Structure 1
Amino acid sequence: MTLLYATGDATVPASAGNKLIAHVCNDRGGWGKGFVVAISRRWPQPERDYRTWSRTPDFQLGAVRLVQVETDTWVANMVAQRGYRSASNPTPLRYEALEKCLNDLAAHAARLNASVHMPRIGCGLAGGSWDEISPMLDRALTSAGIATTVYDLEQPTR
């Protein structure tokens, strides 16, 4: 299986069957910029659950929590960003935490017999490098036979 790329909205996956929509969250409980805005426009549950979860002891880097938003669709909140991007924290993405999240995501996808859909996680507000992240997706997801699609809103310039 290979990583698939599509132009479109990752909150509207174009596939049949069970689907997991994955994205990276910060470890501060903040929600309101980036891809989460699109998630909140479609469903209120992921933000509500994230804010509640952020006040519990199991909310930490490397943690994943699924929130069911439709009969066949879950949003995977993956905590892989330490704080917020700033001059003193130019890359808040923590690659080790993301790797753990992706391995857990793969287990959830296998259990649910679900495909995985996402924007270019970790590359926006989290400041990560797609050259480092895409091999992680291959190791955790596609090598395990999990259909995985990465969505760009517009065709990326390469």
Structure 2
Amino acid sequence: MSKKIVYTHGDATRPPEPGSKIIAHVVNDAGRWGAGFVAALSSRWPQPQAAYRQWYRDRATNDFGLGAIQLVEVEDDLWVANLVGQHGIRSRTTTEAPVRYDAIDQALASLSEQARALSASVHMPRIGCGLAGGRWEKVEPLIAHRLTEQRVPVTVYDLQ
């Protein structure tokens, strides 16, 4: 297996490789779902949004919070990983980006364990760099350290 991130143009919700696959993306800790990459996920499957909202609603009795991950099976051998790596959402009144790199790092460590247990490859957009306001030069090394260096194949998709 490759130790480098593979970059491609295409739709991260439609990974073409055979075998078990996980589509990873970053969600916020505010229970908000509806913009960015989640819109593409919701147009394909209802389960990731429904599971995220339930996870958020029941947060007093579960592990929901920054750094947590939720794996949702959407098809045979295909999962969506909701990674809580964003504190709140960006607003007009704040200049601070909601991305939390330490939370993304923690979530990627858990994702690595899950991917290896499932013998799955991981597919994603440039997580944490859209509405979360992160910088790829900070996220990419986390992915390399937590996933590709642990022999988990990763493909990053840029829309054409």
Corresponding position of 2:143:
137
Match of 1:61? 66
RMSD of aligned C-alpha atoms? 0.8
Could you tell me how far 1:89 is from its partner in structure 2?
4.6
1:110 aligned residue: 116
Match of 1:88 in 2: 94
Is residue 81 of structure 2 the alignment partner of residue 76 of structure 1? yes
User: Aligned with 1:101: secondary structure?
Assistant: helix
Partners in 1 of 2:51 and 2:78 — Cα distance? 15
Cα deviation, 1:11-34, whole Å, max 9, x if unaligned, reads 000101000000000001100000
Structure 2 unaligned spans of 5+? none
TM (normalized to structure 1)? 0.95
Alpha-carbon distance in 1 for matches of 2:66, 2:112: 17
2:9 is aligned, of 4, 7, 31, to 7
**TM-score, length basis structure 2:** 0.94
Give the count of matched residue pairs: 154
CA distance in 2, matches of 1:83, 1:61: 10
Offset at 1:85?
1.0
Aligned-partner SS, 1:54: helix
